[in-house]
Amino acid sequence: MAGVPELLLLQLLSAREMYGYELARAVRLATGDTIQLGEGVLYPALHALERRSLVRARQRSVQGRTRIYYTATPAGRRRLLQLTREWRRISSAVDGALAGSSS
Amino acid sequence: MRAGVAPRRVRRLIAEWQAHHTDLSGAAADAGAGPAEAALLADQQLGDDATLLRACLNRPELLSVTHRHPRLMFGVVPPLLFALVFVVLIAILVQALDVLHAGFGITLTRSSPAERMVTITFGFLLWVLPALVVGGIAHGALRQRARRLWPLIGMLAVALVGAATNLGVQWSASGVLSSLSGGIGVSTERVLELLARVAPAGVIVVAYLWRRRSVHAS
């Protein structure tokens, strides 16, 4: 469960480049408001991903405002695949256990 | 935040939080909230200072080199830096004396600029440089709110090595500079001098511990 925010962020940043506020809204939309990341804590998570070379940041000036945009790196995409496989394995195991206990 | 997180990350994080806050309050204002209410909603959605700080400090990747490697940054680098500056200044002094003598034909006697250069350089190396390095360690440790152990070890190492370093100048019978000498050692005849040379560093260590205590208490 600890890797869920990382999984979501990498999934969204693999699709397109986004800045923080945009990413927070995208997480809410993509998960149907089920998962709402604390908006401020998103940035330390992004910085940590950048430090691990899983995302790349660049400054862009849009409509007179300077924003920092993030996108997944090739290493980030590989990490996404790994996290996705792990998530599917775990959720399948939990589903199996729940199905077993309810029958 | 600077007490742990690397400074360039602090600047960027603060800028990003401010921009995000502006976006949040803008969205709230677009939804009909007044300025004060929009700002309050933005504060709530962004998170309080303690939450944001904890989110940063809980991520080892964001911590400064000093926090990740205190042994290196306080215990190894400052003594090496002290030794390097020491050696470089001695080399500069020797070169300067050589230029005075060979280049300008000045005889290196007691009353010549040579003596002043040697006195000033030796005085700086033996009395000022150790205190400067110890002060630098204390300043860095306080600024980063580092744990006490490695800064104290670094300060002690520099203070003791600095105090035990000896420099000497030998003048011939006719008052001409014949040689410069140096070494590390403690002599029972110079205990008072040793204590006097350690004293400034000792004052800095006490001031550091006192200041650290008041910073951590606040």
pLDDT for the residue B62: 86
Chain A residues with CB under 8 Å of B12 CB are 47, 68
Given B20, B58, B59, which is nearest A21 (Cβ)? B20
Instruction: Enter the tokens of residue B155.
Output: 């300060």
Which pLDDT score, from 0 to 100, does residue A36 have?
65
Residues of B in Cβ contact (< 8 Å) with A9 = none
Q: Distance (Å, rounded) from C-alpha B43 to C-alpha B47? A: 6
List all residues of chain B from 7 to 66 with a beta carbon under 8 Å from chain A.
Answer: 9, 12-13, 15-17, 19-20, 23-24, 45-47, 51-52, 55-56, 58-59, 61-62
Q: What is the pLDDT of residue A1?
A: 43
Q: What pLDDT is recorded for position B58? A: 84
List of chain A residues whose C-beta atoms are within 8 Å of the C-beta of residue B17: 40, 43
Q: Tokens 């997944």 label which residue? A: A72
**Whether the predicted pLDDT of A103 surpasses 60:** no
pLDDT in tens, B19-40: 999 999 999 999 988 999 999 9
Please report the ipTM that was assigned to this predicted complex: 0.85
* Residues on chain B touching A41 (C-beta within 8 angstroms): 47, 51-52, 55
Q: Looking at the predicted structure, is the pLDDT value of residue A2 above 60? A: no
C-beta of residue A79 within 8 angstroms of C-beta of residue A49: no
CA atoms within 13 A on the CB side of B135: 9
Distance from CA of A95 to the nearest CA of B (A): 31
Cα–Cα distance between A78 and B162 in angstroms, integer? Answer: 52
Determine the Cα–Cα distance for residues A83 and A79; give it in Å rounded to an integer: 6
pLDDT band at A102 (very low <50, low <70, confident <90, very high): low
* Alpha-carbon gap, residue A96 to A98, rounded angstroms: 5
**What pLDDT does B218 receive?**
64
Residue type, B78: P
Nearest to A39 among B47, B56, B59 (CB): B47
pLDDT tens for chain B, 218 residues long, are: 666 787 788 889 999 999 999 999 999 999 988 999 999 989 888 888 888 888 888 888 888 888 889 999 999 999 999 999 999 999 998 888 888 888 887 777 777 778 888 889 999 999 999 999 999 999 999 888 888 899 999 999 999 989 888 888 888 887 777 778 788 877 777 888 888 889 999 999 999 999 988 877 76
Minimal CA separation from B3 to chain A, in Å: 15
pLDDT for res B201: 92
Distance from CA of B30 to the nearest CA of A (A): 16
DSSP chain B: -TTTB-HHHHHHHHHHHHHHHHHHHHHHHHTT--HHHHHHHHHHHH--HHHHHHHHHT-GGGB-HHHH-HIIIIIIHHHHHHHHHHHHHHHHHHHHHHIIIIIT----BTTSHHHHHHHHHHHIIIIIHHHHHHHHHHHHHHHHT--SHHHHHHHHHHHHHHHHEEEEEEE-TTSBEEEEEEEE---GGGHHHHHHHHHHHHHHHHHHHHHHHHHHH-
Residue B7's pLDDT is 77
Q: For all residues of chain A together, what is the average pLDDT?
A: 88
What angle do the packed helices B113-123 and B77-98 form, to 10 degrees? Answer: 180
